[in-house]
């Protein structure tokens, strides 16, 4: 009987931990991908960029596998029902720590056990997972700096070693021709999104500490979507980071950190990490929320960010911080509204990092901005977009009568949020 390898957020053949283990065994490996109808049914936009990105990545994977005489079987449906029908010797896959995925995998495992099919799963998405980096007292870290110190102290060649899957490529099962469902078959259409190429720019990484904060320039790697869907290996990137730039390595550690936080504190999905912050009396003005979503707040740096997001599915990290802070603090709108909006729009949307970023901006997170820190959009612009290049790119009517007046005065908003937060935290 054959072994199944189930691709999920690891859409590559090279340096893939679970795939290596599957190929290393003594039966032929059938690679599969399941478009999970449970997840897809929740997506409102039928031209969703992520579904398109996954689809394009699968076509690439399939053609690579075809060159090896094999193929990729692509299914659509509820994985539990599919596995109920499937026969195999074993199923191999890589870990996914989102609460839905953990539950689904537990169900799959139980089902397979009943059928006497082994379910093997491996770490692939991060360098350290679960309890691998914990405090001396055995508890998870909640502050980034000591976590990152321990992370670096624990790191050695073993954790960065790549898995030489190519040695065992002849263990893929041979297939003649396998049909692939079209995007339309699974209820979706092509998006008009631009997918950043899978290019690891050594120059960007080398200069990262100097260029990372300026949204008008290409000063960050744009690898987030590839990390999200595993079209690039985190081990490979961490190796480069170690050699080239510790500042960039720290960003990769933030990614591990938030994945670890989500694993240990799954309540963050819909509650503040610090419970007191759930006492905040949000204004939740729907009209103002709409203005924020559409990039029409009258604050050009905020509007530029939101328009970049809406048009491309990407927003620069500095501007993610500014727009998130603006929604939560200037408009006093619940961070969960903003989080959900980003979750719909971001090509690199990742529950752990997005939630971490939003709770950071709202000050409700584990290692967050202090509550009294209210980004001043004008000062942020002076520092990070001094010549207004980024603003002009996304808000061409800025400075003309067509551009809207500010939705709220900065000084008034600042006083209002400080008062509201203080009240909630002292109650
Ligand atoms: P680079 O600056 O080149 O960094 C390299 C990689 O490190 C990134 O690709 C990413 O995987 C990781 N990384 C960098 N910064 C962070 C960070 N602060 N937290 C976690 N990982 C990081 N990142 C996502 O991948 N998905 C999200 O849904 C997401 N939502 C965010 C929401 C908010 C409100 C904020 C403030 C940040 C969010 N981030 C998210 C983090 C960060 O903005 C993006 O990872 C980054 O902008 C991606 O661009 P890049 O690939 O050029 O990153």
Would strands 118-122 and 29-36 be described as parallel, antiparallel, or unpaired?
unpaired
The token pair that represents 231 in the structure block = 């079209």
pLDDT 10s digits, 387-426:
999 999 999 999 999 999 999 999 999 999 999 999 999 8
Which pLDDT belongs to residue 87? 92
Average pLDDT, the chain: 97
Which pLDDT belongs to residue 192? 86
Question: What is 130-176 written as a DSSP string?
Answer: TTSS--TTSPPP-SHHHHHHHHHHH--HHHH----GGGGGGGBPP-S
**Percent of the chain at pLDDT exceeding 70:** 100
The token pair that represents 283 in the structure block = 């204004």
- Decide if 317 is catalytic: yes
Least Cα distance to 157 among 246, 241, 235, 254 occurs for 235
Query: Does residue 336's CB lie within 6 angstroms of at least one atom of ligand 1?
Result: no
**Whole-angstrom Cα distance, residue 154 to residue 148?**
10
Least Cα distance to 222 among 203, 241, 201 occurs for 201
Mean pLDDT of 301-318: 97
CATH number of 1-124: 3.40.50.620
- Decide if 360 is catalytic: no
Which pLDDT belongs to residue 421? 97
Name the band, by pLDDT with cuts 50, 70 and 90, for residue 229: very high
Mean pLDDT of 304-330: 98
Which pLDDT belongs to residue 295? 98
Max intra-chain CA distance, the chain: 71
Q: Nearest residue CA, atom 20 of ligand 1?
A: 255
Mean pLDDT of 307-318: 97
Which pLDDT belongs to residue 299? 98
**Whole-angstrom Cα distance, residue 4 to residue 422?**
55
Residue of 357, 369, 380, 390 with the most ligand 1 atoms within 8 Å of its CB, for mutation: 357
pLDDT 10s digits, 74-112:
999 999 999 999 999 999 999 999 999 999 999 999 999
Choosing from 129, 251, 376, 398, which is the catalytic residue? Answer: 251
Indicate which atom in ligand 1 lies nearest the CA of residue 343.
28
Domain covering 126-161+199-264 assigned CATH 2.40.30.10 in the classification = no
Identify the three-state secondary structure at position 344: helix
The token pair that represents 321 in the structure block = 């911080």
- Residue numbers in the known binding site for FAD are 208, 220-224, 248, 251-258, 348-350
Which pLDDT belongs to residue 376? 98
Query: Does residue 367's CB lie within 6 angstroms of at least one atom of ligand 1?
Result: no
- Decide if 251 is catalytic: yes
Q: How far is the CA of 63 from the centre of ligand 1 (A)?
A: 30
Indicate which atom in ligand 1 lies nearest the CA of residue 252.
7
Name the band, by pLDDT with cuts 50, 70 and 90, for residue 17: very high
**Which CATH class for the 269-426 domain?**
mainly alpha
CA distances from 360 to 143, 268, 336, 350, 354 (A): 12, 12, 12, 15, 10
Which helix (H) or strand (E) segment holds residue 31: the answer is: strand 29-36
Q: How far is the CA of 422 from the centre of ligand 1 (A)?
A: 30
- The secondary structure of residue 77, as a DSSP letter, is E
pTM above 0.95, yes or no: yes
Would strands 73-77 and 29-36 be described as parallel, antiparallel, or unpaired?
parallel
Which pLDDT belongs to residue 426? 87
- Residue numbers in the known binding site are 208, 220-224, 248, 251-258, 348-350
Mean pLDDT of 212-224: 98
Domain borders along the chain are: 1-124, 126-161+199-264, 269-426
Which pLDDT belongs to residue 420? 97
Q: Which residues of 333-347 are buried (b: 16+ CB within 10 A; e: fewer)?
A: bbbbbbbebbebbbb
Query: Does residue 297's CB lie within 6 angstroms of at least one atom of ligand 1?
Result: no
CA distances from 287 to 294, 325, 408 (A): 11, 18, 12
Q: With 80 as the cut, is the pLDDT of residue 427 above it? A: no
- Decide if 282 is catalytic: yes
Q: What angle do CA 215, 217, 220 make, to 5 degrees?
A: 75
pLDDT 10s digits, 44-63:
999 999 999 999 999 999 99
If one counts every other C-beta atom within 10 angstroms of the C-beta of residue 210, the result is 10
Which helix (H) or strand (E) segment holds residue 258: the answer is: helix 246-264
């Amino acid at each position: 009987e054959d072994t199944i390898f189930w691709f999920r957020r690891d859409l590559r053949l090279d340096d893939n931990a679970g795939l290596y283990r599957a190929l290393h065994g003594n039966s032929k490996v059938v690679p599969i991908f399941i478009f999970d109808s449970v997840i897809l049914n929740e997506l409102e936009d039928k031209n969703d960029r992520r579904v398109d990105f996954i689809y394009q990545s699968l076509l690439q994977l399939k053609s690579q596998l075809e060159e090896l005489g094999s193929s990729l079987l692509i299914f659509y449906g509820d994985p539990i029902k599919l596995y109920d029908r499937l026969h195999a010797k074993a199923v191999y896959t890589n870990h996914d720590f989102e609460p839905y995925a953990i539950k689904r995998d537990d169900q799959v495992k139980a089902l397979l056990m009943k059928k006497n099919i082994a379910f093997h799963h491996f770490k692939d998405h991060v360098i350290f997972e679960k309890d691998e980096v914990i405090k001396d007292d055995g508890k998870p870290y909640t502050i980034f700096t000591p976590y990152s110190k321990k992370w670096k102290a624990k790191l050695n060649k073993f954790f960065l070693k790549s898995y030489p899957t190519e040695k065992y490529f002849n263990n893929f099962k041979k297939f003649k021709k396998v049909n692939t469902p079209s995007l339309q078959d699974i209820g979706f259409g092509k998006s008009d999104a631009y997918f950043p190429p899978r290019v690891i720019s050594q120059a960007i990484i080398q200069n990262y500490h100097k260029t990372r904060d300026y949204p008008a320039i290409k000063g960050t790697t744009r690898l987030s979507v590839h990390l999200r869907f595993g079209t690039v290996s985190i081990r490979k990137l961490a190796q480069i980071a170690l050699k080239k730039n510790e500042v960039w390595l720290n960003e990769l550690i933030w990614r591990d950190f938030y994945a670890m936080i989500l694993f240990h504190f799954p309540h963050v999905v819909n509650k503040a990490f610090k419970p007191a912050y759930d006492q905040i009396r949000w204004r939740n003005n729907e009209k103002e929320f709409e203005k924020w979503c559409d990039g029409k707040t009258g604050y050009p740096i905020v509007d530029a960010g939101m328009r970049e997001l809406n048009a491309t599915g990407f927003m620069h990290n500095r501007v993610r911080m500014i727009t998130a802070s603006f929604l939560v603090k200037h408009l006093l709108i619940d961070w969960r509204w903003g989080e959900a909006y980003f979750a719909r729009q971001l090509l690199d949307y990742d529950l752990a990092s997005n939630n971490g970023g939003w709770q950071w901006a709202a000050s409700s997170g584990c290692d967050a901005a202090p509550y009294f820190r209210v980004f001043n959009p004008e000062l942020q612009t002076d520092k990070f977009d001094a010549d207004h290049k980024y603003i002009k790119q996304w808000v061409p009517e800025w400075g003309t009568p067509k551009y809207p007046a500010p939705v709220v005065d900065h000084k008034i908003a600042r006083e209002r949020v400080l008062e509201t937060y203080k009240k909630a935290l002292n109650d």
